[in-house]
Chains A and B, each alone.
Chain A
Amino acid sequence: GDSVTQMEGPVTLSEEAFLTINCTYTATGYPSLFWYVQYPGEGLQLLLKATKADDKGSNKGFEATYRKETTSFHLEKGSVQVSDSAVYFCALSEVSGAGSYQLTFGKGTKLSVIP
């Protein structure tokens, strides 16, 4: 079945540091890929998405490129802020042969940014 593997956290960075959170996936077809962010005590918010190979999703300074050859969708930001402290989830969406439709999430990576 489909699966998403993302780097274990927690990740602690100083403000203005460069961020990379690795994400790789396995899927049988051509999934759409997503990064969601969850701030403390809140639900998930879509951060960015990519629907086909070589697409780059971007939002709020975050970027991720859909790499089919390496089955990866790594999240990057050039300069993190304290307000970026949250849990980040990589996810994929694919229609299965059994007709099951759902997001498959990674386990999440907790990011803490210190001043």
Chain B
Amino acid sequence: DAMVIQNPRYQVTQFGKPVTLSCSQTLNHNVMYWYQQKSSQAPKLLFHYYDKDFNNEADTPDNFQSRRPNTSFCFLDIRSPGLGDAAMYLCATSRERAYQPQHFGDGTRLSIL
């Protein structure tokens, strides 16, 4: 089945130690999104790629970066994780940017020690 796959499902890192989360998709969608979801809250969009065009949300901290080396893969890099960055990180895709339901992966739960 075509799907959005996130690895790993659970990630533990140390305060200040860079960490990378990965997402792959077999849907061949143009758009890939990264969301941060803290406990009992709605997902918050960090940024998205439309093809190779990177779009950062205005309030996304500089600590968060992303790479999309090809259509299928997208990475979320957190350069110096703080305790406040502990959350579920969700990757999603859509064929186009608007008027399309987004297809979500199961998420990576990030813990900071």
Binding site for B on A (CB under 8 A): 32, 34, 36, 41-46, 49, 51, 89, 93-95, 100-103, 105-108, 110
Report whether B90 and A94 are in contact in the complex, using a CB–CB cutoff of 8 Å.
no
Q: Are B101 and A43 in contact (CB under 8 A)?
A: no
Which residues of chain A are near B50, meaning CB under 8 Å? 101
B99 in contact with A32 (CB, 8 Å): yes
Residues of chain A within 8 A (CB-CB) of B29 are none
For B97, what are the chain A residues with a Cβ–Cβ distance below 8 Å?
95, 101
Q: Are B99 and A46 in contact (CB under 8 A)?
A: no
With a cutoff of 8 Å between Cβ atoms, the chain B residues found around residue A49 in the complex are 101
**Distance to closest chain B CB from A107 (angstroms):** 5
Interface size class of B (residues with CB under 8 A): 20 to 34
A34 surroundings in chain B (CB, below 8 A): 101
* Contacts A/B (CB < 8 Å), 10 sampled: A43-B90, A46-B103, A49-B101, A95-B97, A101-B55, A102-B45, A102-B48, A102-B57, A105-B43, A108-B40
- B107 neighbours in A (Cβ, 8 Å): 42-43
Cα distance, A100 to B107, chains bound together (Å): 23
Determine whether the beta carbon of B41 is less than 8 Å from that of A107. yes
Chain B residues with CB below 8 A from A102, complex form: 33, 45, 48, 57
Given the complex, which residues of B lie within 8 Å of A100, measured CB to CB? 55, 57
What A residues does B92 contact at CB under 8 A? 43-44
Residue of B nearest to A46 (CB): B101
B104 part of interface (Cβ distance < 8 Å) = yes
* A-B interface, 6 closest residue pairs, ranked by CB to CB distance from nearest: A101-B97, A105-B42, A43-B104, A44-B104, A95-B98, A46-B101
Contact residues in B for A41 (Cβ distance below 8 Å): 106, 109
Residue pair B106, A43 in contact (C-beta under 8 Å): yes
B98 and A94 form a contact (CB under 8 A): yes
Which residues of the other chain, A, contact B55 by a CB distance below 8 angstroms? Answer: 100-101
Q: Are A101 and B48 in contact (CB under 8 A)?
A: yes
Q: Are A93 and B42 in contact (CB under 8 A)?
A: no
